[in-house]
Structure 1
Amino acid sequence: MTKRKPTVLQSDVQSPSAILSLKVDADILDFCGHFSHFPLLPGVTQIDWALYYAVELLQVPSAFKGMEVIKFQEPILPDAIITLSLNWNEDTQKLVFKYSSVSDEHTTVHSSGKMKLGTPCD
């Protein structure tokens, strides 16, 4: 098991925003040991993916400068289909992200947050 990123099913990029549909494959390395009886996607992985896709798709600065707000509300389980929404604010240098899913016309927010980004020398 060496896979670290989900399968991107669809992406819609309209800078400074992006919406991705992701399959959180059960064979992602981050599920190992987190937890053996009830695997779930670690919060640090969710933050890492939000930053990774923002850098790749929105060309935001790559240096993580801190979190302002973070909420982990519902676990993300293996093989889940989720939506990652990204919004970049150039003026404040902040990235807002949200992981959500839809089931039976009900939207579940799994996690959301706001991180401060910058260049490595800031």
Structure 2
Amino acid sequence: MTVIRKPTLIKQQRDENTLILWLRVDAEIEDFKGHFPQFALLPGVTQIDWAVYYAQQFFDSPKSFQSMEVIKFQEPILKEALVKLTLTWHADKQKLNFSYTSGQDDEVRTHSSGRILLG
């Protein structure tokens, strides 16, 4: 039995220091288990883990987690959600800005955002 820990990557767009990933948050992701059985939602620690993981994959950012700043969890991410993860890497400061959003145009919802110090 395969344990699923990451979402399905649907599409990606990248420039020098910004990465945008469109993700499907599959219902089978292990992190949903036990996180509110009656109302499963994606844990905040998982959202942070994914942001760091993709930064390391695409920007070759440092592997060492130092701290977090201005982390906000505003709206739950539920099973089978389609979300956009935007990552901006500031190599000079060793800081990763992230945000998870969904929707389009005037109905964009922010699920979470913040800054992570790596290095």
Partner of 1:40: 41
Structure 1 residue 29 corresponds to structure 2 residue 30: yes
Question: Residues 51-70 of structure 1: matches in 2 within 5 Å?
Answer: 51-70=52-71
Partner of 2:113: 112
Using structure 1 for the length normalisation, give the TM-score: 0.93
Identity score, percent: 53
The one-letter code sitting in structure 2 at the alignment partner of 1:31 is F
Distance in 2, matches of 1:102 and 1:29, equals: 25
More strand by share: 1
Using structure 2 for the length normalisation, give the TM-score: 0.95
Deviating beyond 6 angstroms after TM superposition, the runs of 4 or more aligned structure 1 residues are none
**What 5-or-longer segments of structure 2 have no aligned partner?**
none
**What 5-or-longer segments of structure 1 have no aligned partner?**
none
CA-CA distance at 1:72 after TM superposition: 0.1
Partner of 1:4: 5
Partner of 2:19: 18
* Count of residue pairs brought into register by the alignment: 118
CA-CA distance at 1:68 after TM superposition: 1.3
Question: Residues 80-95 of structure 1: matches in 2 within 5 Å?
Answer: 80-95=81-96
CA-CA distance at 1:90 after TM superposition: 1.2
